[in-house]
């Protein structure tokens, strides 16, 4: 079927439509996997999986020293300048060498302590050691993935994303039936290796066009520029996932592991439908904002993004809300207490989408102080409100806290960006 003309002529809609097929397949596969996991490992197992996914996200940032968004920005800016690109890639590979070596060494030496922090037991120390071995693959995959995003190769991005997800999902199911929860955790740990191999298989020719591996050096001319993004990544990814781990641990202590699993199940559903927007940030929003220098053009682009995306996501979230009981029966049939979380989570995610689109101006213009300040306020609000509201509303208090913090975060980001344009 031929794509409608209004979609072909709108790059944002074009990326969304191409991404939609990949994400729709992922969504169906994810629902199937989550159903099997829910039945075989229960709420406690889902909570453990949530802890490991959070630490994997932290490692994704630390192993590459958090330079993903910076590489995306500068590839988009210098994709026609071969000399600048080589300087960028040389700096990037020095960064991932330092980041991956430091991270892997720490995990190997502190495997028992990390296992105890995540799972309240040292029996998963072997898993932490396995992740130490995987860390270099995570770092390399991040840099190569940044090239795909910086060049806005959205068709190949969708293909890489879909194939990688399907293969890792098949591995998860196989390991689940072979080794139960331990097998699932191992599959999650080695997933970055699979994703890297698939990315290389699909994208290696383009990588060779832009990265002249034989000309890479140990010089770091882009160090100062990329360290800015490292700092921002620490707050947006590392601390964010650290807070999620902390809240899950807090729920286990104050209520039960079952309630922590219920909240993690709600996060899994949320992350599945929010994946529709994630690719747009690096493929479209960040490169677009990077090239805008006047407030008039920024307002015009922001209006275009909001009027294109927010109605689509709003409609989708309304459908999800009214289909929540069916969704629970399909995916998490025995997770009593999940349904009341939907309304708060969906409203929070809608405001979150509007906020994150706006906040990408921080990354595009390297507004480091504004970015760090807004992230600290957001995460402090989330943890503080979650801690307080769980005493009143139980696990529902966490999603209520999430909504409140994103409403306040949106207002804060809006104020900081208006101030930036007035100042400049």
Q: What is the 3 state secondary structure string of the chain?
A: CCCCHHHHCCHHHHHHHHHHHHHHHHHHHHHHHHHHHHHHHHHHHHHHHHHHHHHHHHHHHHCCCCCHHHHHHHHHHHCCCHHHHHHHHHHHHHHHHHHHHHHHHHHHHCHHHHHHHHHCCHHHHHHHHHHHHHHHHHHHHHHHHHHHHHCCCHHHHHHHHHHHHHHHHHHHHHHHHHHHHHHHHHHHHHHHHHHHHHHHHHHHHHHHHHCCHHHCCCCCCCHHHHHHHHHHHHHHHHHHHHHHHHHHHHHHHHCCHHHHHHHHHHHHHHHHHHHHHHHHHHHHHHHHHHCCCCHHHHHHHHHHHHHHHHHHHHHHHHHHHHCHHHHHHHHCCCCCCCHHHHHHHHHHHHHHHHHHHHHHHHHHCCCHHHHHHHHHHHHHHHHHHHHHHHHHHCCHHHHHHHHHHHHHHHHHHHHHHHHHHHHC
| pLDDT over threshold 90, residue 362 | no
pLDDT of residue 227: 85
pLDDT of residue 232: 79
Domain ranges in the chain? 5-423
Specify which of 203-207, 297-301, 388-392 reaches the highest per-range mean pLDDT. Answer: 388-392
pLDDT digits (tens, 9 = 90+) for 61-98: 888 888 888 888 888 788 777 788 888 888 888 899 99
Of 355, 141, 98, give the one whose Cα is nearest residue 227.
98
Distances (CA, A) of 196 to 144, 191, 193, 357: 8, 9, 5, 27
Lowest-pLDDT range of 29-33, 360-364, 366-370, 388-392: 360-364
Q: What share of the chain in percent tops pLDDT 70?
A: 91
pLDDT digits (tens, 9 = 90+) for 137-165: 999 888 888 887 777 676 777 778 788 88
Per-chain mean pLDDT for the chain? 84
pLDDT digits (tens, 9 = 90+) for 123-133: 999 999 999 99
Across residues 293-304, what is the average pLDDT?
81
Are the C-beta atoms of 292 and 301 separated by less than 8 Å? yes
Rg of the chain on CA atoms, in Å = 21
Higher pLDDT, 149 or 237: 237
Across residues 309-326, what is the average pLDDT?
89
pLDDT of residue 399: 96
């Amino acid at each position: 079927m031929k794509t409608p003309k209004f979609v072909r002529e709108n790059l944002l809609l074009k990326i969304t439509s191409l991404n939609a097929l990949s994400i729709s397949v992922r969504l169906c596969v994810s629902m199937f996997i989550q159903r099997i996991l829910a039945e075989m490992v229960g709420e406690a197992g889902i909570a453990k999986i949530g802890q490991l996914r959070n630490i994997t996200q932290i490692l994704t940032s630390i192993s590459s020293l958090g330079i993903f968004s910076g590489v995306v920005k500068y590839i988009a800016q210098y994709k026609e300048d071969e000399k600048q690109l080589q300087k960028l890639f040389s700096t990037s590979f020095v960064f991932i060498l330092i980041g991956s070596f430091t991270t892997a060494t720490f995990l190997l030496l502190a495997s028992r302590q990390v296992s105890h922090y995540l799972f309240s037991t040292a029996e998963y120390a072997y898993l932490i050691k396995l992740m130490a071995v995987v860390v270099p693959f995570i770092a390399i995959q991040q840099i190569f993935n940044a090239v795909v995003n910086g060049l806005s190769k959205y068709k190949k991005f969708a293909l890489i994303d879909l194939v990688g997800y399907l293969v890792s999902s098949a591995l998860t199911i196989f390991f689940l039936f072979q080794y139960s929860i331990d097998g699932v955790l191992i599959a999650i740990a080695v997933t970055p290796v699979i994703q890297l191999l698939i990315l290389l298989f699909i994208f290696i020719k383009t990588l060779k066009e832009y990265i002249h591996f034989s000309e890479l050096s140990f010089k770091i001319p882009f160090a100062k520029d990329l360290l800015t993004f490292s700092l921002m990544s620490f707050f947006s990814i590392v601390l964010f996932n650290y807070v999620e781990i902390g809240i899950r641990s807090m729920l286990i202590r104050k209520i039960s592991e079952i309630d922590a699993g219920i909240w993690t199940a709600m996060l899994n559903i949320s992350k599945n439908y929010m994946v529709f927007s994630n690719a747009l940030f690096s493929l479209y929003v960040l490169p677009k904002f990077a090239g805008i220098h006047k407030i008039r053009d920024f307002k015009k682009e922001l209006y275009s993004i909001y009027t294109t995306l927010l109605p689509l996501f709003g409609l989708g979230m309304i459908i999800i809300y009214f289909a929540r009981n069916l969704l629970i029966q399909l995916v998490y049939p025995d997770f009593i207490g999940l349904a009341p979380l939907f309304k708060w989570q969906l409203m929070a995610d809608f405001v979150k989408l509007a906020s994150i689109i706006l906040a990408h101006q921080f990354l595009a213009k390297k507004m480091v102080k504004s970015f760090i300040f807004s992230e600290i306020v957001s995460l402090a609000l989330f943890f503080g409100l979650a801690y307080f509201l769980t005493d009143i509303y139980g696990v529902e208090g966490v999603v209520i806290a999430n909504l409140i913090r994103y409403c306040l975060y949106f207002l804060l980001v809006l104020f900081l960006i208006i101030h930036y344009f007035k100042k400049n």
